[in-house]
Amino acid sequence: MTSYRKVRRGAGRAVVYVLLTLASLIMIYPLLWMFFGAFKSNSELFGSMTLLPEVWDFTGFVKGWAGSGFFDYGDYFLNTFRMTIPCIVLGIASSILVAYGFTRFQFVGKKLFFTLMIATMLLPGTTMIIPRYILFNQIGWLDTYWPFIMPMAFATVAFNNFMLITFFRDLPESLDEAATIDGANSWQILTRIYVPLSKTSIVTIGLFIFIGNWNNFFEPLIYISSQEKFTLPLALQMTFNQAQVEWNRALAMSFCAVVPLVLLFLFAQKYFIEGIATTGIKE
């Protein structure tokens, strides 16, 4: 009886492994095609079912990287960093301040403000983009990176604030009290106690901002118009959206655009998983 059960359970296990392996292969398969396709010649890309290229061809990378005009992908990578790094630094700094304010102080209107902040998580970005475009047009921020940096500098991504709040909330209040008795003011408590203790959450927020900017296509499409300032997604679109698509170039550059993300994930997996998990679980 027991052995029969054990066998059945073992068989169940095996089924689970087979299922998971098959499913994860399907998940990864498109990316494998992207990777190997980048090394194929245009003629081999279609009409052949073999995943590996017959001849490893690097022209996709060389010609793709060179771009078509005055700018190459080196410029686009630099632009992407130029846009993303201020977003990360300012986004983290402002979120820390705001989360600290919401966690440790009982000020007037706190409840209302907090509710409003959570409500903005449900606010569709699509409703905001038109009036923001007009606003930025009036201020003269179109075709600059300010439309990306300023919302970060002013902590408008409620998701980030919220993640830090859930973390700060769990820090024991006795820490503050002890520091207060030692004569520390609230700024010192923040910078000397809270920030060092929440390194993990801070890194996670930084990663999320990085990825959000790296993939962002809709907003750059609207705000950025000169090729000189194109970020990677816009450049990719340019390589890709042509009457005669040079598929190996498009795939090679897509691959280049994706690699930093995948590497980042592999090295910082812990931060991602924890970060996503906490936002969904805690209230």
Contact 220/149 with Cβ under 8 angstroms? no
269 backbone φψ class: left, alpha, beta (φ>0; ψ -120 to 50): alpha
Closer residue to another protein (CB): 47 or 69: 47
Contact 53/39 with Cβ under 8 angstroms? yes
| Axis-axis angle for helices 269-281, 158-170 (nearest 10) | 90
- And the tokens for 235? 């450049």
Number of Cβ atoms within 10 Å of the Cβ of 227: 17
**Does residue 77 belong to the site contacting another protein (CB under 8 A)?**
no
Give the binding range for another protein (CB under 8 A) out of 31-39, 60-68, 76-84, 171-179.
31-39
Site for another protein in 43-62 (CB under 8 A): 45-49
Q: What is the smallest separation between the CB atom of 215 and another protein, expressed in angstroms?
A: 4
Q: What is the smallest separation between the CB atom of 217 and another protein, expressed in angstroms?
A: 5
**Does residue 110 belong to the site contacting another protein (CB under 8 A)?**
yes
User: C-alpha 266: how far from its chain's center?
Assistant: 14
Number of Cβ atoms within 10 Å of the Cβ of 238: 17
Site string for another protein, 228-257 (x = CB under 8 A): ----xx--xx--xx-----x--xx-xxx-x
Q: Which of 130, 177, 188, 192 binds another protein (CB under 8 A)?
A: 130
Q: How many residues of this chain interact with another protein, rule: CB under 8 A?
A: 95
Contact 225/142 with Cβ under 8 angstroms? yes
Q: Which of 65, 77, 113, 146 binds another protein (CB under 8 A)?
A: 113
Closer residue to another protein (CB): 24 or 74: 24
**Does residue 98 belong to the site contacting another protein (CB under 8 A)?**
yes
Closer residue to another protein (CB): 65 or 240: 240
Q: What is the smallest separation between the CB atom of 199 and another protein, expressed in angstroms?
A: 20
**Helix, strand, coil share of the chain (percent; to 5):** 75, 0, 25
Site string for another protein, 173-192 (x = CB under 8 A): -------------x------
H helices, E strands: number in the chain: 16, 0
Q: Which of 122, 172, 226, 243 binds another protein (CB under 8 A)?
A: 122
